[in-house]
Amino acid sequence: VAGAALLAGSAALRFGVFRAGVASAEDPKYTVVPQRERLGR
């Protein structure tokens, strides 16, 4: 049971990271602007 829970958690994490990457690629201002602001500091 614990193994299945870990597998499900890992799959959910991977899916979440993938979805965040897709959203970031669609509107990169949420990643590019903060990175450029940090470079200016």
Q: How far apart are CA 18 and CA 24, in angstroms?
A: 10
Q: Provide the residue ranges of all domains of the chain, joining segments of one domain with +.
A: 1-40
The DSSP symbol for 1 reads -
Q: Classify burial at 9, counting beta carbons within 10 Å of its beta carbon; exposed 0-12, middle 13-18, buried 19 or more.
A: exposed
In tens, the pLDDT along 2-24 reads 999 999 999 999 999 999 888 87
Indicate if the pLDDT at residue 30 is higher than 80. Answer: no
**At 24, is the secondary structure helix, strand, or coil?**
helix
Q: What pLDDT is recorded for position 29? A: 81
Q: What pLDDT is recorded for position 10? A: 97
Q: What pLDDT is recorded for position 3? A: 96
Higher pLDDT, 33 or 11: 11
Q: What pLDDT is recorded for position 28? A: 80
